[in-house]
Amino acid sequence: MDAHKVSELKAFVTSCRSDPSILHHPSLAFFRDYLQSLGARLPPQAMSKNPMKGENDDDMTKAAPDSVDKKPYQKPEDAAIEDEIIESDIELDGELVEPDNGPPQKMGDPSTEVSEESRDVAQMCKTKAMNAISDLVEPKFSYFICHESVFVKLRKPNAAIRDSDAALQINPDSAKGYKYRGMAKAMLGQWEEAASDLHVASKLDYDEEINSVLKKVEPNAHKIEEHRRKYERLRKEREAQKIERERQRQRAEANAVYERGKNESTSENKAFDAEPKDPDSLAALQDGSVISIHSSNELQTKMTAAVRLSRLVILYFTATWCGPCRFMAPIYKALAEKHRNIVFLKVDIDELGNDAHRWNVNSVPTFFFVKDGKEVDKVVGADKSGLEQKIAMHAAKP
């Protein structure tokens, strides 16, 4: 190596020893990743002054108090939910090797027809190769050698994986293919994949070498699996907390609407104030929008909420294959946005056939007008004017 570069490296290592916080500089992220891949433990980031800080960093630090964005106050538990889950490092055992990124070795064409002459030539080449290999490995292994094992012993895992893949394409039940691919993946730190290949190899043709490697690979694979399950569980718990918080927010909004309704006495809101106020029922209904129903229980829940609030309900039976229904869909949505005190429900007859039968739906689209849980009127067909007139008539009734 270049003597000057070596001296620079020594100086850098000396600086790291005197101030380990240097390693946390953003520009050295690649170096931290490399150290951790070797199993190194880095010291926690300290608040000490970083000697690698640029000239402009001090100016930015001085200006920071005036430039910090003021965020709205959050409860500690809310802030904890919003924080991203940061996974801890896994302490794994085992020595890794640098990936070999050289060009792939040449392989034969599997579609080529093998002749006696080519077989003899191949045998001669194999003999020469075996003699050459015997100089690289212990003599007792020379009779059991194959491409993949050579690459593993030469610590060229990517080459071993390529050869193993090729062997497994020719013979999917090759124990050696799985064995050496598993050993190569273990060299690269791909512990779970390595364990999987080695288990398959052991089932096909067990030997002590596979068992020995598995004893080193399996603990790391188990640690990774446990780590993944732990954080999957944490993410699910975090998601459940978010859903619960959203539900509480919606309920709080419904309560706010309820409290406003009690205090408003203008003529514009008299009809609305006359409704029995029920936060749960208000939360179940989506004022100003069309509610798609997907179960009989859901339909009953919406109907019950409407009865409690003395709301008029329009129950629209439709189907995805119905052309007139597609014509009426945007009209129905616009009417829902206009008449916010009316409950607009939508049911697909193919999804809820029993409910369609219970309401005696003979064609679609059909619009039922329901008050206090009872049908009071209906419109059959894509009759925009008729639907608007019925809405105006029934909305005016107390």
Average pLDDT of the chain is: 77
Where exactly does CATH 1.25.40.10 map onto the chain? 93-100+135-256
CB 284 within 8 A of CB 301: yes
**CA-to-CA dists, residue 256 to 113, 204, 260, 279, 342, angstroms:** 82, 68, 6, 9, 20
Strand-strand pairing, 366-371 and 374-380: antiparallel
Over residues 28-39, the pLDDT tens digits come to 888 887 887 777
Over residues 258-316, the pLDDT tens digits come to 777 666 544 444 544 444 456 666 666 777 889 999 999 999 989 988 888 889 999 99
CA distance 227 to 89: 9
> So what's the pLDDT on residue 310?
87
Question: Catalytic amino acids?
Answer: 322, 325
Kindly state the average pLDDT of the residues 196-216: 88
Where exactly does CATH 3.40.30.10 map onto the chain? 290-396
Joined together, the tokens standing for residue 10 give 């020594």
Joined together, the tokens standing for residue 345 give 């429900």
Query: Is the model more confident about 265 or about 187?
Result: 187
Strand-strand pairing, 290-293 and 343-348: parallel
Over residues 60-113, the pLDDT tens digits come to 444 444 444 444 444 555 555 555 666 666 677 777 878 777 777 666 666 667
For residue 335, pLDDT beyond 50: yes
CA distance 255 to 253: 5
Tell me the CATH number of domain 290-396, given options 3.40.50.620, 3.40.30.10, 3.30.460.10, 3.40.50.880: 3.40.30.10
CA distance 172 to 204: 11
Least Cα distance to 16 among 4, 6, 24, 27 occurs for: 24
Over residues 342-383, the pLDDT tens digits come to 999 999 999 999 999 999 999 999 999 999 989 999 999 999
Tell me the CATH number of domain 93-100+135-256, given options 3.30.70.2740, 1.25.40.10, 3.40.1000.10, 3.30.465.10: 1.25.40.10
